Chain A
Amino acid sequence: MPVLEVRNLSVRFATVSGGTVSAVNDISLSVERGEVLGIVGESGSGKSQTWLGVMGLLARNGRAEGSARFDGRELLGLSHGALNELRGARMGMIFQDPMTALNPFLSVGRQMTEVLQRHRGMDRRAAERECIAALEMVHITDAPRRLAMHPHEFSGGMRQRVMIAMTMLTRPDLLICDEPTTFLDVTVQRQILALLDELRQRFNTAIVFITHDLGVIAEIADRVIVMYGGRVMEQADVHTLFADYRHPYTEGLLRSVPRPDVTSHGKLATIAGNPPDLAHLPAGCPFAPRCVYREPRCETQMPELLDVGPAHWRACHHVGALGKLETAA
């Protein structure tokens, strides 16, 4: 049974002027134990809002509809207290900027032991021992001394490690990582990715990894969901997606990024236009205005997510082959 099963999830925000903005439209997905599910998308794709909706962490004017079952238990509509309990103990979330989740006035040790005292009812001594073990687990050396330090005394990469250690204290079944390496240098990013992979193998934790960086996806994800304009465009396992993509948007993303391991010459392939404005989404496929394979019905009718191979889905009307995108020489 999957750890998390999301059915027909939509997230809408009420705007100041009285309208609504749909950030996520009718998304269904599942996350299995021990896998890394990569979520790729640009700004306005709804990649973060989906998960904030699932976790009950939307901004006050936001509302999630549909269903999200965690280990068989419905999350949407759960009381604040029950959600908090679940979030602390069985689901964890790591953010782009760890400083948003760490209290700058308390020592790291204090914040970590608090988690254990609250969720596992440990006494302080035992909690402290456990925290030292957790810091060592994320390869922070000199852990006992580090416990007394405050968040600002750590570098960005170290802070993210502390955040991971803190989240892993309760051995969650599901870890949601929202662009955890975007602010970090590539060298530190590599270390954090390796650490997450190690933890997954050790504890069989399901990891949802949200990012805009296809390189990171290629490195860490087992399965990938490509999002655009609040909808799923394509879903496949990572090898299939990179080798045998079937959606024009995926094609555009993969073809337009230069690679660090190959020298490209001339012009890069591009996706025309700009990311979608959620307040003015087109009636049909959100990607239609930028799509080179656009047909008349794309503008009026949202294509369904249909399978195009084993465990490979896409939402696109286009039937012919891809490869029309202007290519780099």
Chain B
Amino acid sequence: MNALREMSEASAPRAPALLEVDDLAVHFHVPGSGWKERKRVLRAVDGVSFGVAERETLGIVGESGCGKSTLARALLRLVPATSGHLHYAGRDLLALDAKSLRPLRREMQIIFQDPLAALDPRMTVGQIIGEPLRALRPELPRAERHARVLAMMQRVGLLPNQVNRYAHEFSGGQAQRIGIARALAVEPRLLVCDEPVSSLDVSIKSQVINLLQELKAERALTLVFIAHDLASVRHIAQRVLVLYLGRVVEIASRDAIFARPMHPYTRMLFAAAPIPDPDAARRMRDAPVRGEIPSPFNPPSGCAFRTRCAFAVERCSAERPLLRDLSGGQVACHRAEELLDQARVPV
């Protein structure tokens, strides 16, 4: 019954997405290292397509070097996209010039992985949180801006009397609260979270995750939640997108992807996540995990994952698998059907 509803949800045309990413690519030109070498092209994000519905939380997971941080920045046009399309609420973001982009900046904000590095050490908390308001809502009088900063501080769990303190006087968890306050001060609809909890202490992580969830509910936010930590993605996301070497290998609803991951890479990634329970952890010990992510400068031909894949066949090196609908989600693997039949056991 549940599965049926899922199927129909996925196959029916979904509600118009708030953010629509279509064949997005971000390539960097990196100077060669030796004197003979030419400029090399780093395909950090290479032909990525997905949508994020209003009020949804989309989790993006992948290993380091898979392009997830670049993708986050490209969504906000903090790094220029090489090709593709990016639509926010129906407007083509990539076609806008810097000036017409500005009003849209109010709608989409970002929080960063290293919360202290994301705060200017020479500014007070009040200046930091007030900065986007100042730039994006210049019509607001000073007093009003100040009041909003204080209200925002209180909301994220900072004391308003800390408004004149400097970033370096705060711990990592508090600094991340400042980052969240800054992002939400302009009342955005979309919040991109680039590994917001991965550099925080264990006991602080859950505080910040709870805060993000509360704020999401309160302000009807749409979240793009990027992480390499599967557990927090499983907790917070409704849909999960798996990236490998700049490409999407699988997208599915949280429940579907964790119950039966379709792509061999997704399986490997899930199997490798350490489980905080010795009995379960020791059962998982023998799950095969092979190799390391190859250099993004020369990704393998065909399917980029084939070099580490236990199921790779000849076709995988010859032909790049396209992302296609399967069993309620989307997957980019030639053998997905076979594998799906083969292993119905939840990982």
Contacts and interface: CB of A to CB of B under 8 A. Distances in A.
B277 A218 contact: yes
B323 interface: no
A214 interface: yes
Given A42-B201, A185-B228, A257 B278 contact: no
A262 B207 CA distance: 19
Nearest to A242: B278
- Residue of B213, B271, B280, B281 with highest tally of chain A CB at under 10 A: B281
Contacts of A267: 210, 213
B269 A186 contact: yes
Nearest to B308: A187
A42 B281 contact: no
A187 B292 contact: yes
Contact of A216 (B174, B206, B274, B287): B274
Nearest to B295: A155
Interface in B166-204: 171-174, 201-204
Q: How large is the interface on B (under 10, 10 to 19, 20 to 34, 35 or more residues)?
A: 35 or more
Interface string A219-245: 100000000000000000011001000
A259 B201 contact: no
B63 A187 contact: yes
Interface string B213-243: 1000000000000001011101100000000
A188 B292 contact: yes
B171 A242 contact: no
A261 interface: yes
B273 A260 contact: yes
A264 to B, nearest CB: 5
Nearest to A157: B292
A92 interface: no
Counting chain B CB atoms within 10 Å of each CB, the highest count among A188, A214, A260 belongs to A260
B277 A259 contact: yes
B201 A43 contact: yes
Interface in B266-287: 268-282, 284-285, 287
Given A260-B231, A275-B171, A219 B282 contact: yes
Interface in A186-230: 186-191, 194, 212-219
Contacts of A216: 274
Interface string A253-267: 110111111011001
A204 B278 CA distance: 21
A242 B277 CA distance: 6
B206 A219 contact: no
Contacts of B276: 214-215, 217-218, 242, 254, 257, 259
B275 A268 contact: no
A110 to B, nearest CB: 22
B292 A268 contact: no
B264 to A, nearest CB: 12
Contacts of B118: none
A186 B171 contact: no
A157 B201 CA distance: 23
Contacts of B271: 190
The main secondary structure of chain B at its interface with chain A is helix
Interface residues of A, number: 44
B64 interface: yes
Contacts of B204: 274-275
B96 to A, nearest CB: 35
Contacts of B210: 267-268, 270
A155 B63 CA distance: 13
A267 B203 CA distance: 14
Nearest to A217: B276
B234 to A, nearest CB: 6
A122 interface: no
B274 to A, nearest CB: 3
A252 interface: yes
Interface string A285-300: 0000010000000000
A270 B202 contact: no
A186 B277 contact: no
A189 B272 contact: yes
B57 to A, nearest CB: 13
Contacts of B28: none
Given A155-B292, A263-B255, A219 B203 contact: no
A274 B171 contact: yes
A263 B257 CA distance: 11
Nearest to B232: A258
Given A256-B203, A260-B275, A275-B204, A186 B230 contact: yes
A215 B281 contact: yes
B210 to A, nearest CB: 5
Contact of A259 (B205, B207, B231): B231
A219 B274 contact: yes
Contacts of B63: 185-187
Contact of A218 (B171, B258, B268, B278): B278
B254 interface: yes
A260 B234 contact: yes
Given A158-B292, A187-B268, A258 B274 contact: no
Interface string B238-266: 00000000000000001100100000000
A269 interface: yes
B339 interface: no
Interface in B113-164: none
11 contacts: A43-B172, A189-B274, A213-B202, A215-B231, A218-B276, A218-B278, A219-B278, A257-B202, A260-B275, A268-B209, A272-B207
Interface of A: 42-43, 155, 157-158, 185-191, 194, 212-219, 238-239, 242, 252-254, 256-261, 263-264, 267-272, 274-275, 290
Given A43-B201, A187-B63, 19 more contacts: A42-B202, A185-B63, A185-B64, A186-B228, A186-B273, A215-B231, A218-B274, A218-B278, A242-B277, A256-B205, A257-B206, A259-B234, A260-B270, A261-B273, A261-B277, A263-B234, A268-B209, A268-B235, A275-B204
